[in-house]
């Protein structure tokens, strides 16, 4: 088998693959699946927002709005999952740590019943530090955007 044939092209991740790549668990896992993956260059993560989210008990009981900080987290988790999956070799486990968020803008709120798409594009990456452009969309409308910087580190055993 030649080296090219041994490389599996990754075009999507289901929840089981996301759970394998990321250390996050309920209630802090902010993505349900990832679609349209292009290596570690770009991807679209999906979060289905439901009224049963525990955050809506306090944000806000009579006007449920999905918090902007959790939208940013969903963007970062989408980028982290595709990088971990892309870089995984020989059973070595890494994690991605967020180093910074720049130029964050929140345009419209999201709430129960919305499907948030996290559109991620790699701006650049050097060794273990990457910078990603991220946009959150609901029904094709940008509701938030940011630039996220993250670092890949070895996970503690």
59 is catalytic: yes
CA–CA gap between residue 21 and residue 147 (Å, rounded): 22
Per DSSP, the three-state class of 77 is helix
Nearest to 96 by CA among 81, 115, 111, 86: 81
Task: Report DSSP state, residue 51.
Answer: T
Residue in 24, 59, 119, 124 annotated catalytic: 59
* 86: Cβ contacts below 8 Å, ≥ 6 apart: 10, 39, 40
CA–CA gap between residue 11 and residue 15 (Å, rounded): 14
Nearest to 127 by CA among 67, 87, 74: 87
How many CB atoms neighbour CB 110 within 10 A? 23
**Residue positions annotated with a catalytic role:** 59
């Amino acid at each position: 088998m030649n080296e090219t044939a041994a490389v599996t092209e990754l075009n999507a991740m289901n929840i089981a693959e996301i759970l394998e790549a990321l250390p996050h668990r309920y209630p802090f896992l902010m993505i349900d699946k990832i679609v349209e993956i292009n290596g570690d260059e770009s991807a679209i993560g999906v979060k289905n927002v439901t009224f049963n989210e525990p955050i809506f008990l306090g944000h806000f009981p009579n006007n449920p709005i999905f918090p902007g900080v959790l939208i940013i987290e969903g963007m970062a988790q989408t980028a982290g999952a595709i990088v971990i999956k892309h870089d995984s070799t020989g059973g070595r486990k890494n994690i991605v740590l967020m180093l910074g968020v720049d130029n964050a803008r929140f345009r419209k709120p999201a709430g129960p019943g919305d499907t948030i798409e996290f559109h991620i594009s790699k701006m650049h990456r050097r060794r273990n530090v990457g910078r990603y452009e991220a946009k959150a969309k609901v029904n094709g409308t940008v509701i938030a955007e940011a630039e996220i910087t993250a670092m890949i580190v070895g996970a503690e055993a």
